Amino acid sequence: MARNSGTPKTETIEKVVSVYKKTGSISEIVLQTEISTTKVRKILITEGLWSSPRSLQIRELSDQGKSSSEIADTLQISTVMVQNYLPYEKGLYDEPQKSDTAIRSEKYRERNRTYAQKSRSRGQQTSEGFATEILATTPGEKKSPYAMQLHLELRDSRLDSMPAEEAKILAKYGAVTRSISREIIVPSSLALHQLHYLINVAFGWTNSHLHNFQLPELLYQVLIEGKLLEIAPVFGYYLQFPNGTFGDAFWDDDYDESKSPRTWMRSKYLKQYKYRGFSQYWIENQAEIHDLAQRIPMLTVHPFRLREKVQPRKVRFEDASLQELLDAIMFDEGMPDALKESLRLHEVLSLDPMAIKKAKATALSTDTSAVGLYKHYRDIVVSEARRERGPRDTPTYSHAFRQMEKFQKQYEPNAVMPITTELLYCYDYGDGWEVDISLVREFGKDDQIVDDEVAAKVIADRKPICIAKDGLNVLDDCGNVHGYIDMLHTIHEGDRDEAMDMKAWARGQGWTGRDMSPKQML
Per-residue pLDDT in tens (0 to 9) along the chain, 522 residues: 333 334 567 778 888 888 887 877 766 776 677 665 667 778 888 888 877 767 787 888 888 888 887 887 787 665 656 777 788 764 443 333 444 434 444 554 555 554 444 444 433 333 333 434 333 344 444 568 999 999 999 999 999 999 999 999 999 999 999 999 999 999 999 999 999 999 999 999 999 889 999 999 999 999 999 999 999 999 999 999 999 888 787 788 777 777 788 899 999 999 988 898 899 999 999 999 999 999 999 999 987 766 777 788 999 999 999 999 999 998 877 889 999 999 999 999 999 999 999 999 999 999 999 999 999 999 999 998 888 777 888 899 999 999 999 999 999 999 899 999 999 999 998 899 999 999 999 999 999 999 999 999 999 999 999 999 999 999 999 989 999 999 999 999 988 888 898 898 898 888 999 999 999 999
Please report the pLDDT score of residue 115 as a whole number.
41
Residues 334 and 197: their CA atoms lie apart, in Å, by: 19
Please report the pLDDT score of residue 91 as a whole number.
40
CB count in 10 Å sphere of residue 378: 25
Residues 480 and 456: their CA atoms lie apart, in Å, by: 36
Please report the pLDDT score of residue 509 as a whole number.
85
DSSP 84-101: HTSPPSS--EE-SS--HH
**Nearest to residue 246, comparing CAs of 125, 86, 133?**
133
Angle at 305 between CA 300 and CA 311, to 5 degrees: 40
Please report the pLDDT score of residue 7 as a whole number.
52
Cα distances (angstroms) measured from residue 484 to each of 337, 349, 504 = 28, 31, 15
Check: pTM over 0.85? Answer yes or no: no
CB count in 10 Å sphere of residue 59: 16
Please report the pLDDT score of residue 257 as a whole number.
72
List, in order, residues 6 or more apart from 368 with CB less than 8 Å away. 232, 233, 286
Phi, psi (deg, nearest 5) at residue 175: 55, 40
Measure the N-to-C terminal CA separation of the chain; round to a whole number of Å: 30
Please report the pLDDT score of residue 216 as a whole number.
97
* Contact call for residues 442 and 351 (beta carbons, < 8 A): yes
CB count in 10 Å sphere of residue 50: 18
* Contact call for residues 381 and 401 (beta carbons, < 8 A): yes
Please give the helix or strand (H or E) that residue 151 lies within, else none: strand 147-154
